[in-house]
A and B are shown apart, each in its own frame.
Chain A
Amino acid sequence: MPSFLSSLAVPAAALAASLALFGLFVALVGVNPLDVYQLMYTGAFGSWFSWQNTLTRAAPLILTALCTALPAQLGLVIIGGEGALVLGGLAAAAVGLALEGASALIVLPAMGLTGMAAGALLIGAAGALRHGRGVNETIASLLLSYIAVAVLNHMVEGPLKDPASLNKPSTAPLADDYTIGTLPGMDVHWGLVVGVVCAVAAWVLMRRTTFGFAARMVGGNPRAARMAGLPVGRLLIVTTALAGAMAGLAGMVEVAAVHGRANASLIAGYGSTGILVAFLARQNPLAVIPVAILFGGIGASGGLLQRRLGLPDASVLVLQGIIFVTLLASEGLRGRLRLPRLAKQPQEA
């Protein structure tokens, strides 16, 4: 399976190179890279405690990565996961507050469905605009994401504001019954299971169904797909809506399992990290799971780097940026390193 191996080798090499570059970077600001690596390992995977922290962060990352990976099957680049997460979380909190008093068996599914619907509307709109008006979906999804963040700020500062939340404007807290509990025997909430199930379902949908086959055909060659009579518009809109639903669900999980209310804590960068996870997983929904765990670990170790070495919290962002850039460069260098002359010829011709 040489193609499988190379699809593993390129991201792995890019990761290794990125860690080296990041080491160089921290060395330049006067921190010992070996200490950084050591602490990153400790903070991410060094103990059962850090594993649980890592897995808790991986849960929303799996879902936001699917928000990019699903549309990628159709050749679309969607980067609005952050907004879909925020809007999903806000909608879920609003429903949880509106239905207060009802049984958790009704309220939790209602919160999940509303969160998914909110995310689906946001990202589905980017897909619909792409199909209906030819609007670039990358820019549209990012703009929609900014609008979603403004809506969150508006709601928690205005209509949904809990008067008791003074320095951090929030909605009122959800009733205790409406929180998602932890998995038996550990401190990781059920959101992780939700994420893994969604990732597997997304993989089955894209690799084992007619829908997925049609979607990947559109991604391979839209014109040929249209010629073959595939409903390109419907595929586009349904897939982007599904993608948004994943990120919206991530927002619901964050609200119901971590924060207990909707506020600006939802804007934690899971959206942008999710994009990177999807790219590193080569847009494969199953590969998203281990990559999300890896990045959950990097995120989890951020606090330790800050406390022990005095590195800014943005260290994690820098590492993510380096990984992203290195990954894309290594994809481009892959053929070139082996056959430098052949790769150059068409350019000089």
Chain B
Amino acid sequence: MDDTALGWWGVPLAVLAGAIRVSTPFLFVSLGECLTEKSGRINLGLEGTLVMGAMSGYAVSYATGNPWLGVLVAGLAGTVFGALHAAICSLDRVNDIAVGIALMLLGTGLAFFLGKPYIQPQAPQLPAIGFGWWSSSQQVRDALQVNALFLIGAVLAPVLLWGLRNTRWGMTLRIVGESAEAARAMGYAVNRTRMLATMAGGFLAGVGGSFLSLHYPGSWNERLSSGQGITAVALVIFARWDPVLCFWAALLFGGAGALGPALQSVGVTQGYYLFNAAPYALTLAIMIATSSARHRLAGAPAELSVTR
């Protein structure tokens, strides 16, 4: 064994590194979805928003040479999708889950259509900050390359929690999510609040998507996202609509997603494809464990159809 190989110790290290790398899209989508769900609506379309963000971020980074501009445009694309979701949902007799499914389809379709020319070229990537300078092992240093977006997300989570609890904005959002009737009686504009919450959610999901194409895996193709968006939506339920819990849950999911590649790197190739299903199986297991047929979930916004 030479000193760069960690052998089996590489597995937990790779899972930790993977948790940080893989979790970032989960983190951003779940923070965005958390805001949207707090307003009493669920947006399943974030899966499509994520793919759209990945494509537009990559395209802009390629065209301008500035990956941060890509992140911004990805967020704006997400905002547009959020606005579309909110606008359709504000009509009568429209089910937010159905609109989400429709936008999932539209977002994926548009991203594949417009992203066709960007499958080959290599776009400038987002920078990463090395936290492994203390170690002499290349593997440890590689593992601790932490992307700036992850750090932004990690800061954003407690800020959002604070904002939801202590600002006027947060209060309005929570009232709208708890009871649209009461909010209306108190003079709050329910539809406008939900529109803004869904647009903000779309922005964050778009940013999460740009991470996929601009850092890890770090290229644009049509197999880039398969269900991270929908997993993140379920993750919000698991995290009980608490942004900081979303952060920890995203890390857990990132770790689960990194298990397959980590085992593969030490030569365990058996069941590689099954390990790819680990985040979905974990999500499902968590949903089963934390749901109840009899009573509503603690912390659930009362207007949310998905937990009713």
Q: Which of B109, B112, B227 contacts A143 (CB 8 A)?
A: B227
- Given the known interface contacts A132-B293, A325-B84, the answer about A318 and B274 at a Cβ–Cβ threshold of 8 Å is no
Inter-subunit contact A325/B88 (CB<8 Å): yes
| Segment among A105-113, A196-204, A309-317 that sits at the interface with chain B | A309-317
Interface assignment of B106: CB less than 8 Å from any CB of chain A = yes
A116 smallest CB distance to B (angstroms)? 23
Inter-subunit contact A146/B226 (CB<8 Å): yes
Inter-subunit contact A328/B112 (CB<8 Å): no
Inter-subunit contact B113/A318 (CB<8 Å): yes
- Given the known interface contacts A129-B288, A143-B234, A321-B107, the answer about A349 and B94 at a Cβ–Cβ threshold of 8 Å is no
Bound-complex Cα distance A59 to B103 (A): 25
B283 smallest CB distance to A (angstroms)? 6
Inter-subunit contact B92/A143 (CB<8 Å): no
Bound-complex Cα distance A133 to B108 (A): 31
Interface assignment of B13: CB less than 8 Å from any CB of chain A = no
B85 smallest CB distance to A (angstroms)? 9
Residues on A with C-beta less than 8 A from B234 are 139, 143
Inter-subunit contact A328/B287 (CB<8 Å): no
* B 180-224 contacts with A by CB, 8 A: 184, 190-191
Q: Which of A144, A279, A312, A313 contacts B284 (CB 8 A)?
A: A144
Inter-subunit contact B94/A318 (CB<8 Å): no
Bound-complex Cα distance A276 to B190 (A): 29
Secondary structure class of chain B's binding surface, majority of residues: helix
Interface assignment of B273: CB less than 8 Å from any CB of chain A = yes
* B 276-308 contacts with A by CB, 8 A: 276-277, 280-281, 283-284, 287-288, 291-294, 306-307
Residues on B with C-beta less than 8 A from A143 are 227, 230-231, 234, 280, 283-284, 287
Q: Which of B44, B91, B190, B283 contacts A336 (CB 8 A)?
A: B91
| Segment among A40-48, A151-159, A179-187, A239-247 that sits at the interface with chain B | A151-159
Secondary structure class of chain A's binding surface, majority of residues: helix
Residues on B with C-beta less than 8 A from A349 are 184
Inter-subunit contact B98/A314 (CB<8 Å): no
Give the nearest-CB partner of A326 in chain B.
Answer: B102
Interface size on B, residues (CB 8 A): 53
Interface assignment of A142: CB less than 8 Å from any CB of chain B = yes
Interface assignment of A347: CB less than 8 Å from any CB of chain B = yes
Inter-subunit contact B227/A314 (CB<8 Å): no
Task: Type the 1/0 row for A107-139, where 1 means its CB is closer than 8 Å to any CB of B.
Answer: 000000000000000000000010111111011
Inter-subunit contact A328/B88 (CB<8 Å): yes
* A 282-326 contacts with B by CB, 8 A: 311-322, 324-325
Inter-subunit contact B271/A77 (CB<8 Å): no
Interface assignment of A275: CB less than 8 Å from any CB of chain B = yes
Residues on B with C-beta less than 8 A from A134 are 291-294, 307
Q: Which of B48, B102, B274 contacts A154 (CB 8 A)?
A: B274
Residues on B with C-beta less than 8 A from A279 are 98
Bound-complex Cα distance A333 to B92 (A): 7
Interface assignment of B160: CB less than 8 Å from any CB of chain A = no
Inter-subunit contact B271/A139 (CB<8 Å): no
A137 smallest CB distance to B (angstroms)? 10
Q: Which of B116, B237, B292 contacts A312 (CB 8 A)?
A: B116
Give the nearest-CB partner of A317 in chain B.
Answer: B109
Q: Which of B105, B227, B288, B306 contacts A324 (CB 8 A)?
A: B105
* B 91-141 contacts with A by CB, 8 A: 91-95, 97-99, 101-103, 105-110, 112-113, 116
Interface assignment of A15: CB less than 8 Å from any CB of chain B = no
Inter-subunit contact B227/A142 (CB<8 Å): yes
Chain A residues engaging chain B, CB cutoff 8 angstroms: 77, 79, 129, 131-136, 138-140, 142-144, 146-147, 149-151, 153-154, 157-158, 272, 275-276, 279, 311-322, 324-325, 327-329, 331-336, 343, 347, 349
Additional 15 contacts, C-beta under 8 A, given A312-B112, A328-B98: A77-B98, A134-B291, A135-B284, A139-B234, A139-B287, A140-B284, A147-B280, A147-B284, A151-B274, A151-B277, A275-B101, A312-B113, A318-B109, A320-B109, A335-B93
A selection of 16 A-B contacts at a CB cut-off of 8 Å is A77-B101, A79-B101, A135-B287, A138-B44, A138-B97, A139-B306, A140-B284, A147-B280, A150-B276, A154-B273, A311-B113, A314-B110, A319-B109, A321-B105, A321-B106, A332-B94
